[in-house]
Amino acid sequence: MTLHVLFVCTGNICRSPIAERLATALATQLKIPDFTSSSAGVRAVIGHPIHPEAALVLESLGGDASAFVARQFIPRIGSQADLIITMSAAHRDAVLERAPRLLARTFTLAEVAEFASGSDSATIADLPRLRVMQGVSGFGDVPDPIGLDSEAFDAVGTKIAASLPPILELCQRSGSF
**Active-site residue, 9 included:** yes
Q: Which of 14, 15, 71, 92 is catalytic?
A: 15
Q: Are 157 and 57 contacting, i.e. CB atoms less than 8 angstroms apart?
A: yes
End-to-end CA distance of the chain: 5
Annotation says 14 is catalytic:
no
Calpha distance 62→157 (Å, rounded): 11
Query: What is d(CA 84, CA 95) in angstroms, rounded to the nearest whole number?
Result: 9
Active-site residue (options: 9, 21, 71, 171):
9
Q: Is the Cβ–Cβ distance between 167 and 24 less than 8 Å?
A: no
Q: Tell which residue, 152, 135, 123, 140, has the closest CA to residue 54.
A: 152
SS3 151: helix
* Positions marked catalytic: 9, 15
